[in-house]
Each structure stands twice: as structure tokens, then as C-alpha cells.
Amino acid sequence: MRRRVGSTPASFRQSLLSCLFFLVPMLILGFDYPDDCYFDLDNDMWCRDLGDGRMQVGVSAFGVKISGNYFYMCRPKSVGTELEQGKTMGVVELSKTVVTIKTPVSGAVVEINEALEETPELIHQDPYGAGWICVVQASNWADDVTRLAHGDTLVQAAERRMRLEPIDDWIKP
């Protein structure tokens, strides 16, 4: 088979495009859902594998938006506390409300984001970066991951979850 000089094989082009796809964050109805995170959509929380069974945990961008206000205080459970998926991992104070936040992963808290003591607004400003809440040493990841949205299951499940909230101009069609 002869190829024209300067032509690029279709398989190479497709491979290159799929690599570039991962460089762009996934947007679902206008909200960022990073590819390296697993999402507990019922509680609007995420976790990210840091390696060695350690999972970084935070509030999703959608969860931040529906909170409606800045986080005035974030108090996660202390280092050493055992957590169970879907159960309370801490409390946050919003404008006039204190609410519990639920962990997307079971295990022991091994680190808390101490920057949130002074600047809890980091959760709003950078929910998947500087606004992470704690790191958990996962104890039951094989079971926990089955209840989290990621990859192919994420788009449909996230859209379904977001549409449960009053649709306003902040949800993109």
C-alpha cells in the first residue's frame, strides 16, 4: 500500500485526538468534572486517587454552586478518624446554615487541608485543587468505587443529578 508523502494515517490521527481529549476538562451542563476524579453524585463530593490507597476528597463544583454561599468554615473529622462511605466526614458553615458533608470513600483520615482553617473560600475558588478537604487512606475501595460515577457512567448520571435541582440560568442546556 502506498501512502502520499506528508499524509498522516487515520489511526494516528484518531490516537492523537483521543490523547488531546484528556487534556480538556469534562464539562457537564457547564460544570467541571475532572477525568481523574470519582464522584458521589448523591452528596456532591469527589475523590481522587493519590496512589498507595490514599484518596483526596472534596466538594464538587456543582455542590459548591448549589450551596449558594461561600463556605465560612470547614471542619473535617480529625486525622485518625475512621470514615464510612456516605457517612459524615465533617461540617461546613454556609451563610446561616451548618451542614454535614459526606465522604465518598471509606477509610481513615490521614491528612486535612489546614489551609481551609484560614481560607475556607478555597473550596469555592478551586474545588478540585487548593479547596480539597482531606486525604483518606481507603479501606474498602473495591466496594466503594462501585457506588461512584466515573468515565462512561458520569455524564448521564451527573446530568440526571443536576436536573433534580431547580433549573435556573446556571445550568447550561
Residue 158 located in a structural domain: yes
Structural domain that includes position 58: 35-162
Residue 3 located in a structural domain: no
- pLDDT value of residue 172: 53
Separation CA 68–CA 135 (nearest Å) = 25
Residue 141 located in a structural domain: yes
Residue 8 located in a structural domain: no
Residue 18 located in a structural domain: no
Q: What is the DSSP letter of 146?
A: G
pTM of the shown model: 0.80
pLDDT in tens, the chain (173 residues): 444 454 445 444 444 444 444 445 688 777 888 999 999 999 999 999 999 999 999 999 988 888 876 778 889 999 999 999 999 999 988 877 888 999 999 999 999 999 999 999 999 899 999 999 999 999 999 999 999 999 888 888 988 888 888 755 555 55
Provide the residue count of the chain. 173
Residue 28 located in a structural domain: no
Residue 169 located in a structural domain: no
Side chain identity at 153, as an amino acid letter?
Answer: T
> Any alpha helices (H) in 97-140, and if so which ranges?
115-118, 122-125
- pLDDT value of residue 23: 43
Q: Which of 124, 132, 69 is nearest to 103 (CA)?
A: 132
CATH of the domain at 128: 2.40.50.100
Per-residue DSSP letters for 4-57?
-TT---HHHHHHHHHHHHTTSPEEETTEEE-TTEEEETTTTEEEEEEETTEEEE
| Number of domains comprising the chain | 1
Residue 136 located in a structural domain: yes
Query: Looking up cell 480539597, which residue turns up?
Result: 132
Separation CA 35–CA 101 (nearest Å) = 22
